[in-house]
């Protein structure tokens, strides 16, 4: 189990993530929601070691990950929010690079890379430079790279972004399958319908603080809302979006 | 960029200022006349080289590329307006470039020429000076643009994309050599003109220095005819641009949008498999090798380094004999060492420049304290891709110049010396090539320049001397080989502290990532 305890990150003294605590359990998909700038990506970057925490702890299987960050990262698969990949490498080459850096045997890397590219509908494009890939294709390369080393913990940051309908559905089934096989999955998304359908547990962050941490059903009951969208809107105190939409249309068509 | 050009121009102007002023007044001998002609070649060479280098550097910006077309196509702009806007922008760029390259050195030279003896003649001198330098730089730019126009008109978009980096790389190298090789061109000028050697027709700076003869009253008819050639070739370049751009633009627009880069079957990186000992080492070796093979900006950097090395190697290894370039027996041994020095230090420098900084996360995510792994991969890569090709290229020349035992001895010494130099230059290299955004900004440029000068001369001369000494006294050779073997063994067996590989200088670089 991944446990985040009292995690805080300050930039120039201002807290971006403040005293955040929650857990991601094996066999479960934990949804991590929040508006833009709420601190989701900062939390994930601390988890993945791309940022250092100002204070707080992260425990994985009872051990502080800051004591052995490399050991933790070896068990972690990560799909970042932005599909930043080396554009001059091909899809297959990127997976070979990822596998090599993770010290996987080359035969295994080649076999598994080709398998994953085939299953993610990318096999025909495996020798095409990534610069020529669409956003959805890049996302699928990232998903393959995150799964390549059979990690125990998976963090998907907006991983469905840019995927077409088929691949989006495939991704949803994949999340469920991975959780069913005992993987702990942290899933960050803005697509509330998808989160509602696949996540067992929801953590909502707003302005750097956790404002909800419960199952989807528990949240609906607690907030007395019929769906996750209603719960979310109530939790983060959004403006009247319909009025705002009317104002935008009026700005160009007075 | 303009600032850099102006600074370089100032320095260049300063170097010829005094001599030019001294030699431009009063009655001169025939020999002094040729000295003046040689000096007059300098600024056209400089202007041509710098402007040509810049035009090649901005090769992709001369014609709108695929991204420009993709952005512009949805807008309601007719294609002829795009062409007109592009030509206007290019014209402005040429004016700025030519001005930036020439204004400072020309002003300094013209001021130095102004005196009681030259008052009546000053205006003609000034017009010749301006015509030669401004003409040379404008021609360099037009020549590159015309070349691109021909390529676009005759080849497919795919071939154009594939060949462009090579044209840029070799073209930029040629431009660097044009500037740095000035002493040779100046030294060869008189015999070449007297014998009407063919290379003069292929070297545009000489044509433009011929404008002095043309505009000041021809004392040398051949140089004056080359001056006329410069005008004809400039007109031809402009004509080619108008024709090729006029016909090629619409075709290029359509083809660029319709064509895609074909699938690239990755080459089996067998060298990595053979040399690298672990999957991580192979991954880093392969990544760095592919980056060098496919990243244009890194290739240009290395090409510039090699060109500078080649020009300096020429100074050491070549001499002018009877009006022609000939291999200097004493200096020839240093050539390979100079090239080796530039190759190794060039790779040391180019590895500092990140390929795609935002994509570094894959290295950070998978990092397993592989400082030593990274250093091993880097060391093997440098020796493989810089030194081995260098040895192979130099081998036929060395075989032609020396006997077999000397060639063999030279190659072995060069290989060992290069291995030692790699250890020295990469001693504290704790990065993965092309991934670190941290550049040692506190390095004092003056100190670095002095170290480089001492490094090149010390390394090449000492190694060449050592090599000659080894031929006469076998004990010297034994001492060198034993000492080098010990040093290399100790360095290769060094296990630096297993610290994390350095990626970034400070956290704010990370902080900027999508924290909206």
Rounded Cα–Cα distance for residues B294 and A36 (Å): 36
**Phi then psi for A187, rounded to 5 degrees?**
-120, 115
Contacts of A107 (CB under 8 A, 6+ apart): none
pLDDT in tens, B325-384: 777 777 778 888 888 888 898 898 888 888 888 888 888 888 767 777 888 888 888 888
pLDDT reading at B115 higher than 80: no
Average pLDDT value for residue range A135-150? 94
Residue B504 to chain A, least CA–CA distance (Å)? 11
Confidence bin at A237 (pLDDT 50/70/90): low
Q: What DSSP designation does B25 have?
A: S
B353-382 residues touching A, CB cutoff 8 A: 355-356, 358-359, 361-369
Neighbours of A8 (CB within 10 A): 16
Confidence bin at B512 (pLDDT 50/70/90): very low
Determine, for residues B295 and A88 on separate chains, whether the beta-carbon distance falls below 8 Å: yes
Task: Tell me what pLDDT residue B66 has.
Answer: 67
Average pLDDT value for residue range B133-138? 93
Strand partners, A30: A186, A201
pLDDT in tens, B236-274: 999 998 888 877 777 777 776 665 555 455 555 566 677
Task: Tell me what pLDDT residue B36 has.
Answer: 83
pLDDT reading at A142 higher than 90: yes
Asked whether B178 and B53 are in contact (CB, 8 A), the reply is no
More confident residue, B23 or A230: A230
Task: Tell me what pLDDT residue B201 has.
Answer: 92
Residue B437 to chain A, least CA–CA distance (Å)? 14
What does each C-alpha distance from A162 to A168, B104, B261, B362, B412 come to in angstroms?
9, 53, 22, 20, 56
Confidence bin at B507 (pLDDT 50/70/90): very low
pLDDT reading at A109 higher than 80: yes
The closest of B376, B242, B400, B265 to B327, measured between CA atoms, is B400
Q: Mean pLDDT in chain B?
A: 80
Rounded Cα–Cα distance for residues B420 and B492 (Å): 10
pLDDT in tens, B374-418: 888 888 888 888 778 888 877 887 887 788 888 888 888 888 999
Determine, for residues A96 and B286 on separate chains, whether the beta-carbon distance falls below 8 Å: yes
Rounded Cα–Cα distance for residues B99 and A98 (Å): 49
Give the 3-state DSSP-derived string for chain A, with helices as H, strands as E and coil as C: CEEEEEEEEEECCEEEEEEEEEEECCCCEEEEECCCCCCHHHHHHHHCCCCCCCEEEEEECCEECCCCHHHHHHCEEEECCCCCCCCCCEHHHHHHHHHHHCCCCHHHHHHHHHHHHHHCCCHHHCCCEHHHCCHHHHHHHHHHHHHCCCCCEEEEECCCCCCCHHHHHHHHHHHHHHHHCCCEEEEECCCHHHHHHHCCEEEEEECCEEEEEEEHHHHHHHHCCCCHHHHHHHHHCCCCHHHHHHHHHHHHCC
The closest of A1, A2, A20 to A10, measured between CA atoms, is A20
The answer to whether B294 faces chain A, any CB pair under 8 Å, is yes
Lowest mean pLDDT among A51-55, A88-92, B81-85, B474-478: B81-85
CA-nearest residue of chain B to A96? B283
Q: What is the ipTM of this complex?
A: 0.80
Determine, for residues B263 and A92 on separate chains, whether the beta-carbon distance falls below 8 Å: no
More confident residue, B268 or A206: A206
Determine, for residues A103 and B355 on separate chains, whether the beta-carbon distance falls below 8 Å: no
Task: Tell me what pLDDT residue B440 has.
Answer: 54
Confidence bin at B509 (pLDDT 50/70/90): very low
What tokens were used for A29? Answer: 């998909």
Residue A49 to chain B, least CA–CA distance (Å)? 7
Q: Which of A107-121, B285-299, B369-383 has the highest mean pLDDT?
A: A107-121
Percent of chain B with pLDDT strictly greater than 70: 82
Confidence bin at A138 (pLDDT 50/70/90): very high
A28-67 residues touching B, CB cutoff 8 A: 36-37, 41-42, 45, 48-52
Task: Tell me what pLDDT residue B513 has.
Answer: 39
CA-nearest residue of chain B to A76? B365
3-class secondary-structure state, position B347: helix
Task: Tell me what pLDDT residue B338 has.
Answer: 87
Determine, for residues B290 and A11 on separate chains, whether the beta-carbon distance falls below 8 Å: no
pLDDT reading at B83 higher than 50: yes
What tokens were used for B1? Answer: 């960029």
Residue B442 to chain A, least CA–CA distance (Å)? 25
How many pairs of residues across A and B have Cβ atoms under 8 Å apart? 115
Lowest mean pLDDT among A177-191, B25-39, B388-402: B25-39
What tokens were used for B345? Answer: 């230090």
Confidence bin at A223 (pLDDT 50/70/90): low
Query: Which is it for the CA torsion A120, A121, A123, A128, positive or negative?
Result: negative
CA-nearest residue of chain B to A42? B515
Task: Tell me what pLDDT residue B508 has.
Answer: 40
pLDDT reading at B18 higher than 50: no
What tokens were used for B453? Answer: 């000068």
Task: Tell me what pLDDT residue B317 has.
Answer: 78
pLDDT reading at B68 higher than 80: no
What does each C-alpha distance from B237 to A18, A166, B144, B169, B380 come to in angstroms?
65, 54, 9, 21, 46
Task: Tell me what pLDDT residue B257 has.
Answer: 65
Confidence bin at B515 (pLDDT 50/70/90): very low
pLDDT reading at B439 higher than 70: no
Task: Tell me what pLDDT residue A15 has.
Answer: 85
pLDDT reading at A214 higher than 60: yes
Domains of chain A: 2-75+151-252 (3.40.50.300), 86-150 (no CATH)
The residue to which tokens 């998304």 are assigned: A189
pLDDT reading at B514 higher than 60: no
DSSP labels for B442-488? Answer: T--HHHHHHHHHHHHHHHHHHHHHHHHHHHH-HHHHHHHHHHHHHHH
More confident residue, B296 or B14: B296
Average pLDDT value for residue range A148-163? 91
Q: Which residues of A touch B282 (CB under 8 A)?
A: 100, 106
């Amino acid at each position: 189990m991944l446990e985040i305890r009292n995690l805080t990150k300050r930039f120039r003294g201002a807290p971006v993530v403040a005293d955040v605590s929650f857990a991601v359990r094996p066999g479960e998909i934990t949804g991590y929601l929040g508006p833009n700038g709420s601190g989701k990506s900062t939390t994930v970057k601390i988890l993945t070691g791309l940022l250092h925490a100002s204070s707080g702890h992260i425990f994985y299987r009872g051990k502080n990950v800051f004591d052995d960050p490399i050991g933790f990262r070896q068990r972690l698969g990560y799909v970042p929010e932005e599909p930043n990949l080396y554009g001059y490498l091909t899809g297959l080459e990127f997976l070979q690079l990822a596998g090599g850096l993770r010290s996987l045997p080359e035969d295994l890397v080649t076999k598994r890379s080709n398998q994953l590219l085939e299953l993610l509908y990318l096999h025909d494009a495996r020798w095409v430079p990534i610069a020529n890939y669409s956003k959805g294709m890049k996302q699928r390369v990232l998903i393959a790279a995150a799964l390549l080393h059979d990690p125990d913990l998976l963090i998907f940051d907006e991983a469905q972004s840019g995927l077409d309908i088929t691949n989006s559905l495939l991704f949803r089934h994949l999340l469920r399958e991975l959780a069913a096989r005992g993987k702990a999955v942290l899933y960050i998304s803005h697509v509330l319908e998808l989160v509602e359908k696949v996540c067992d547990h929801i953590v909502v962050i707003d302005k750097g603080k956790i404002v909800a941490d419960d199952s989807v059903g528990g949240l609906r009951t607690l907030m007395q809302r019929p769906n996750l969208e209603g719960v979310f809107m109530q939790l983060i105190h959004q403006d009247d979006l319909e009025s705002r939409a009317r104002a935008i249309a009026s700005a160009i068509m007075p | 960029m303009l600032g850099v050009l102006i600074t370089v121009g100032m320095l260049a102007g300063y170097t010829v200022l005094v001599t030019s002023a001294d030699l431009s007044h009063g009655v001169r001998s025939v020999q002094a006349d040729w000295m003046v002609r040689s000096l007059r070649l300098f600024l056209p060479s400089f202007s041509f080289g710098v402007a040509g280098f810049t035009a090649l550097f901005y090769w992709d910006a001369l014609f709108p590329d695929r991204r420009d077309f993709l952005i512009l196509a949805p807008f309601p702009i007719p294609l002829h307006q795009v062409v007109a806007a592009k030509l206007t922008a290019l014209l402005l760029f040429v004016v700025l470039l030519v001005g930036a390259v020439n204004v400072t050195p020309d002003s300094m030279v013209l001021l130095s020429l102004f005196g009681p003896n030259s008052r009546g003649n000053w205006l003609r001198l000034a017009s010749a000076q301006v015509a030669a330098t401004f003409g040379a730089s404008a021609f360099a730019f037009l020549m590159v643009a015309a070349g691109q126009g021909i390529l676009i008109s005759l080849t497919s978009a795919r071939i154009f994309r594939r060949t462009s980096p090579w044209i840029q790389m070799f073209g930029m190298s040629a431009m660097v050599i044009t500037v740095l090789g000035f002493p040779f061109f100046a030294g060869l000028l008189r015999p070449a003109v007297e014998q009407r050697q063919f290379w003069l027709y292929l070297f545009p700076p000489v044509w433009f220095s011929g404008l002095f003869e043309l505009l000041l009253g021809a004392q040398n008819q051949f140089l004056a005819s080359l001056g006329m050639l410069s005008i004809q070739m400039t007109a031809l370049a402009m004509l080619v641009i108008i024709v090729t751009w006029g016909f090629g633009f619409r075709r290029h627009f359509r083809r660029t949008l319709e064509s895609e880069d074909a699938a690239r079957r990755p080459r089996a990186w067998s060298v990595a498999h053979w040399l690298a000992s672990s999957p991580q080492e192979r991954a880093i070796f392969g990544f760095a090798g592919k980056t060098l093979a496919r990243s244009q900006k890194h290739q240009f950097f290395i090409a510039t380094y090699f060109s500078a090395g080649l020009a300096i190697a020429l100074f050491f290894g070549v001499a002018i004999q009877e009006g022609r370039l000939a291999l200097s027996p004493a200096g020839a041994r240093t050539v390979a060492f100079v090239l080796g020095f530039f190759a190794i230090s060039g790779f040391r420098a180019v590895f500092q420049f990140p390929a795609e900084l935002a994509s570094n996360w894959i290295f950070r995510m998978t990092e397993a304290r592989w400082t030593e792994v990274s250093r091993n991969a880097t060391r093997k890569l440098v020796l493989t891709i810089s030194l081995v090709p260098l040895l192979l290229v130099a081998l036929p020349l060395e075989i032609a110049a020396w006997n077999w035992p000397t060639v063999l001895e030279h190659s072995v010494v060069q290989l060992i010396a290069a291995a030692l130099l790699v250890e020295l230059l990469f001693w504290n290299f704790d990065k993965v090539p092309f991934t670190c955004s941290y550049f040692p900004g506190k390095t004092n440029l003056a100190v670095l320049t002095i170290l480089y000068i001492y490094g090149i001369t010390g390394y090449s001369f000492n190694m060449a001397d050592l090599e000659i000494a080894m031929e006469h006294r076998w004990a010297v050779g034994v001492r060198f080989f034993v000492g080098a073997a010990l040093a290399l063994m100790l360095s290769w067996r060094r296990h630096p502290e297993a610290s994390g590989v350095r990626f970034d200088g400070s956290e704010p670089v990370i902080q900027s990532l999508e924290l909206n």
